[in-house]
Amino acid sequence: MAINQMPHNSDAEEALLACILIDSEAQADLLEMLREGDFYQESHQVILAAMKAVYGSRKPVDIVTLTDRLEREGKLERAGGIVYITELAQFMPSAANYRQYFQIVRRDAVNRALIRAAKEIVENSMKGYEEREAVAFAEKLIYDISKKEDGSTLEDMTDGEIIQQVIGKFENIQADPNAFRGVETGFRPFDRITNGLQPSDLIVLAARPGMGKTSLAMNIVENACLKRNGVAAVFSLEMPRVQIVQRLLCSYADVSMEKALSGKLVQKDWKRLMLASDRLQKSKVFIDDSSRVTPTEILSKCRRLKSREGRLDLVMIDYIQLMGGESKYSNSENRQQEIASITRDLKIMAKELNVPVLALSQLRRIQTKEPQLSDLRESGAIEQDADIVVFINRPEATATPEEMAKKSIVKGAAELIIAKHRNGSCGRIQLRFIGESTKFVDVDAQGEPNEEPQYVRRTPEFGENPSAEQSFPPQDGGEIPFD
């Protein structure tokens, strides 16, 4: 091979095309796996395209059908002529080693793609873009190549391997209910419903301004990292890093942030802060306070963090509506499409990184007391892409002066409403909000009984009893209906 030639192996390419012509079993596998760009020689690209067209029309791929297709498309000469097609059919006596030929061709195709990407990276770097943009451009090119190679195929269940994996999972859970528990939030009733925040899930935490979205999210980060030694990436588009650390420190130390900011701390508070600061320094909480960050940049940073630390347990983003999207959706009238693109990318990111992604979201400013899915601001795609949607409801924050005067509102009472749960039941969780230290706690943490969560049945299917909601598990040992 000449020094300036791109990597390729003409013999392996010819062998693959020959295998397709002489073996129907290899034909089905290869035509599914191969792409035209996998071949270096143009004539081989033309032949493969014609083979795929013949195969797609439900005809056998042989010399007659292939040459007929090429001739009708006017590409027979570009493919090398009928003599070359005939020679291909006689090139291989057996297709037994077609998988080895395929590996050679795919290896060279990947190397060619990397060389082209490297050239683009060099050209882009010469333009003098900002460091973050240049790195994101390079990472995206390499990631796109990797993603193309990470293909999957349809597989049947005849070997029983997948079924045994599921049965094995159920057996492990039967022996240990915590075997597949996700990232624990620290709120026990919530963790009982969700079994923790599961890998690859997109969890949307939504509320109106001032309800404590960031506080609750940081309480979850605190439980995952400071109390359970996890690794979390926090992307704060609204607050600077110092304010995030301020919340974490006061919450973990159980010290009033109001007193800390007004200079009224006592010796006991300082001792708690010193112990908490020591623990925080040893934790694996990574904070990025860049404004208008995009999903692509978040994915790049999280991919590097996971590679460096060897693990990543949680990603928290505060909040969706402050994120930037692709430039094609930059106009204000297309903001809904931009948000839809962002949430779709966040779900794909959760799946690729195999970590739960906790994304905060605003709600529309409405008059109703209790939030619902239709209140999610700017896009219904948030509801569609999320695996779990949780609302924060604090009656105290929306109460009128008359209601407060009547003392009909319990001070500090808070409720988590699980409005969507793709892999389980919906429900309501009673919590208490401690404003001075900006933290949520379980009700029983304040000395009151912690009630079992009430599971709310989803909208009934056709033919079911159309009651608005039904609490379960049912009493008296009744059966739990499938959701």
- The enclosing domain of 393 has a CATH number of 3.40.50.300
163 within a domain of the structure (yes/no):
no
User: Domain count of the chain?
Assistant: 2
Do 226 and 117 belong together in one domain? no
Q: Which residues are catalytic?
A: 238
Cα Rg for the chain, rounded, in angstroms? 29
- The enclosing domain of 83 has a CATH number of 1.10.860.10
Do 227 and 367 belong together in one domain? yes
Do 234 and 123 belong together in one domain? no
Mean pLDDT of the chain: 77
296 within a domain of the structure (yes/no):
yes
189 within a domain of the structure (yes/no):
no
204 within a domain of the structure (yes/no):
yes
Measured at the CA of 374, the angle between CA 370 and CA 376, to 5 degrees, comes to 85
253 within a domain of the structure (yes/no):
yes
186 within a domain of the structure (yes/no):
no
Do 145 and 200 belong together in one domain? no
Domain extent for 329: 195-472
Residues 414-466: tens digit of each pLDDT: 888 888 888 878 888 888 888 777 788 887 754 443 344 343 434 333 333 43
Query: For residues 424 and 358, what is the distance between their CA atoms, to the nearest angstrom?
Result: 17
Do 349 and 431 belong together in one domain? yes
**Amino acid type, 322:** L
pLDDT top residue among 371 and 111: 111
pTM over 0.75: no
Do 348 and 435 belong together in one domain? yes
Do 315 and 212 belong together in one domain? yes
Do 421 and 332 belong together in one domain? yes
> Which of 113, 131, 149 is a domain's end point?
149
CB atoms within 10 A of CB 262: 9
> Which of 93, 117, 149 is a domain's end point?
149
> Which of 127, 149, 171 is a domain's end point?
149
> Picking from 6-15, 135-144, 211-220, 241-250, which range would have the lowest pLDDT averaged per residue?
135-144
164 within a domain of the structure (yes/no):
no
Overall average pLDDT of the 230-256 stretch: 85
pLDDT top residue among 405 and 138: 138
The sign of the dihedral angle between the CA atoms of 25, 30, 32, 33 is positive
Q: Long-range contacts: 272-280, Cβ < 8 Å, 24+?
A: 273/249, 276/249, 276/252, 277/249, 279/226, 279/252, 280/226, 280/245, 280/248, 280/249, 280/252
161 within a domain of the structure (yes/no):
no
Residues 212, 440 contacting (CB under 8 angstroms): yes
